[in-house]
Structure 1
Amino acid sequence: MTDPLIGVLALQGGVVEHRASLERAGARTRLVRRTAQLEGLDGLVLPGGESTTMSKLLDIGGMLGPLRGMLADGLPAFGTCAGLILLAREVLDTRADAHSLGALDITVRRNAFGRQVDSFETDLAVTGVTDGEDAAPVHAVFIRAPWVEGVGEDVSVIARVSDGGAAHGAVVGVRQGPVLGISFHPELTGDDRLHRHFLDIVAGQA
């Protein structure tokens, strides 16, 4: 597929940075704020931000049901941080009135690594991105990040924290079919390999 059209959910969060990463990787982009803007997309990126606020805005804007349907029908999606939370089937430590899209058969815990002051950076091996013998690790930026506490049988774990610290072994990247979810912020590092990996998934789904 040449020049896929990728939507960036533009309700909150790192919208500009994701758009720049996708365009450097060769995609056309569209900011998505209304249901009509979901039409004709080849894939969708759900950025970081505040997941409960984003879920409320999806609901108020009438996008929640249509987006759930499109994901169930196979729309490729890439969620980072809050986007991972939105894509999950079950969310722990969230508000009772929060919504999720159920596109990933996972249980995720919000703010699992702690508050803003507990934000950190580390290097990760990511399946599909750092598989080559000489491939550099992905430098991952975690900001009030979630982690994944449970995965369904159709979900592949693609990244874990491996720095030997308190969170060693925590699952921070998953994939289920054409849906990719990570706990960190690749759009902040200038490393576009995860966005390119997502575009490869989109191409494979076409």
Structure 2
Amino acid sequence: MYPVDLVSGYTLKQIQTVLNGSHTVDVFYDKLFNLYSNSTKNHLNLMQTQLLTIFRIIVIFLFCTIASACDPDDRMNAKQYDYKVALENKSISAITIDGYRTLGQFGDKLETSVLVSTLSVSPKSISDIESITIPKPLGNPAFGFIYPGMQNNVDSIVLKFSNNKGYYTSSKNKEFWLKNKSSLLSISENEIIQKNEVLIYEISQEDLIMAYDLP
């Protein structure tokens, strides 16, 4: 792709002189036209227009190439990993786990908390087995997941035993959650055990004993 070049006769010295201080293509061509007499100078405007058109085409081509290389669909095609997960209640008390939305779209506190999901697990039993799909596998330092049912706008969780004691946590404060465990909003690998190809998050009898009085 080349412009039709009908311009000739300019010396390198003339071109160098015009280039000095010319910060745009338009300034360059205007100075070349006005400073020097040349029998082909009337073709400068045509050449300038053609070069600018070619430049725009190249820029558009490069933009499209970069945009396609950064296609968000590539992220969708990244490898994903499927796992089975469950909660195991090893205590002698039934537990109920409620997920709440307490914050608005912009992080403002809602006047009334909204109950989003509820999980129940009987004493000495395992909950229903759920499936998750996550981008990082076991063994990867970035492995982690949100427990199923707690993904959709849940920012606070209350875990309650049948004696009305329990634990609570939010996305910003984990002070009153199970000791030495991450919350169900961000489960890491060292908080789970694997049984029969199921990733288990345990609530123990000790957790029952150490539970807080809930408001």
TM class, shorter-length: under 0.3
TM-score by length of 1: 0.24
Which has more radius of gyration? 2
